[in-house]
Amino acid sequence: MSSVARLDVSELTAGYVAGMPIISSIDVTVGVGEIVAVIGPNGAGKSTLLKAIAGLCHIESGAIHVDGTEVTGIRTDKLTRSGIAFVPQIENIFRSMTVEQNLILAGRRCDKQASSHVEKMLSLFPLLKKTYKKRAGELSGGQRQFLALAMALVAEPGLLLLDEPTAGLAPIAGQEVLSILREIANPGVGILLVEQNAKAALGLADRAYVLADGHNQHEGEARAMLSDPVLGEIYLGGRRRGDHAAKPV
């Protein structure tokens, strides 16, 4: 691991309305080629954390560094043009546009001739080839998640922020998504992964954070957490609540 982390969040306090923070004093780091999971109950502030990193929230205090450069308060579009990719939890594709248009649009943010990147995505996600000319709104849930992932990867980011990429997917499809993440991380991409399915996330990730009520509750090696009896009781037991994918964010 090189000395500079892909992502270094320190003491981050942020929310949607000034003076009403949702997350407080959060510390998170993601190293080069590392997969870091964030788990926690519904409403813990996991999505808010990702949105704050992506410049979509009101930041009260704290700092965010990407590859050693401070990016706190930088506009979202500038961030995502400089090597960060973010896949929101919901509404993460343009439904009225075709798969092709979605990919071209997403690819445009790295350089003008994104067609080779698009080709690459199609070979990574062969499913998208079949639906290339379809409107994205007509895709199935799994296909949508693949498209959203492809839109994030097409610009070849160094840091990938993923908000529940397996939500609403059949178990097999979810497993497929997660296994692709390992391939992506290998060449050095840092991945911050929010997952509801904590077991699967911990099985895949290198390290993990547990978020509850807007605070860091726990952090550690993913494998160790998986076998931690207390954590297992709270977060890995059968206490997953309803269908979070349908919840407005």
Partner 1 sequence: MIGLISYLTFFFTIALILAIAVLGLNLQWGFTGLFNGGVVAFFAAGAYGLIMLGGPARANEFGGFDLPYLIALAGGVLLSGVLALVVGLATTRLRHDYLAIATFGVAIAIESVARNAEYLTGGAKGLRGFERPLEAWVGQPQLYSFLFLCVVIVCLVGVYIALEKLVDSPFGRLLRAVRENERAAQSLGKSPAHIRLTAFVIGAMIMGLSGGLYATFYAFISPQDIAPILTFQIWAMLIVGGSGNNRGAILGTLVVWGGWVGSGWALTAFAPASMQLYAGSIQYILIGCIIVFTLLARPRGLLPERLTTTQYAESSVEKR
Partner 2 sequence: MLQSLFDGILVGSVLALGAIGLTLIMHILRFANFSHAELLSLGAYFALTFDAVFGAVSNVLVQKLPWLSVTWSLACAVLIAMALTGATAAIIDLLVFRRLRRLAGPLTMVFASFGVSLIVRNVIGLVYGLRSTHYNNDIVFAMMISADPLLLVKADQIFIMCLALVIMVALHLVLTRTSIGYTLLAVSENPTLAQVNGINLGATVRLAWMLGGGLAAIAGFCYALNNQLSPVMGRDLVLSLFAAAIVGGIGSIYGAVLGGLIVGLASSLALIIIPAGYKPAIPFLIILATLYVRPNGLFGQSR
43 binds, among ligand ATP, Mg ion, partner 2, none (CB under 5 to 8 A by kind): ligand ATP
> Segment 28-67, which members bind partner 2 (CB under 8 A)?
54-56
How is residue 218 written in tokens? 């726990």
> Segment 28-47, which members bind Mg ion (CB under 5 A)?
47
> In sequence order, which residues have a C-beta less than 8 Å from that of residue 73 and are 6 or more positions away?
55, 59
Yes or no: say if 93 and 87 are a contact pair by the CB < 8 Å rule.
Answer: no
Among 9, 12, 14, 22, binds ligand ATP (CB under 6 A): 22
Alpha-carbon span 133 to 30, nearest angstrom: 36
Q: Which stretch binds partner 2 (CB under 8 A): 2-10, 85-93, 165-173, 203-211?
A: 85-93
The angle that helices 141-153 and 171-185 make with each other, rounded to 10 degrees, is 10
Among 91, 111, 119, 138, binds partner 2 (CB under 8 A): 91
Alpha-carbon span 240 to 9, nearest angstrom: 27
Whichever of 15 and 83 has its CB closer to Mg ion, that residue is 15
DSSP state of 131: T
How is residue 248 written in tokens? 């407005």
Among 21, 31, 62, 88, binds partner 2 (CB under 8 A): 88
Shortest approach of ligand ATP to residue 110 CB, angstroms?
28
139 binds, among partner 1, Mg ion, partner 2, none (CB under 5 to 8 A by kind): none
16 binds, among Mg ion, ligand ATP, partner 2, none (CB under 5 to 8 A by kind): ligand ATP
92 binds, among partner 2, Mg ion, partner 1, none (CB under 5 to 8 A by kind): partner 2
Shortest approach of partner 1 to residue 58 CB, angstroms?
5
Tell me phi and psi for residue 128, to 5 degrees.
Answer: -70, -20
Give me the sign of the Cα torsion angle 181, 37, 7, 86. positive
Q: Does 196 bind Mg ion (CB under 5 A)?
A: no
165 binds, among ligand ATP, partner 2, partner 1, none (CB under 5 to 8 A by kind): none
The set of long-range contacts for 176-184, using a CB threshold of 8 Å and a minimum separation of 24, is 177/145, 177/146, 177/149, 178/204, 179/204, 180/124, 180/149, 181/35, 182/35, 184/153, 184/160
Among 21, 45, 174, 190, binds ligand ATP (CB under 6 A): 45
Q: Which residues bind ligand ATP (CB under 6 A)?
A: 16, 22, 40, 42-48, 89, 196, 244, 247, 249
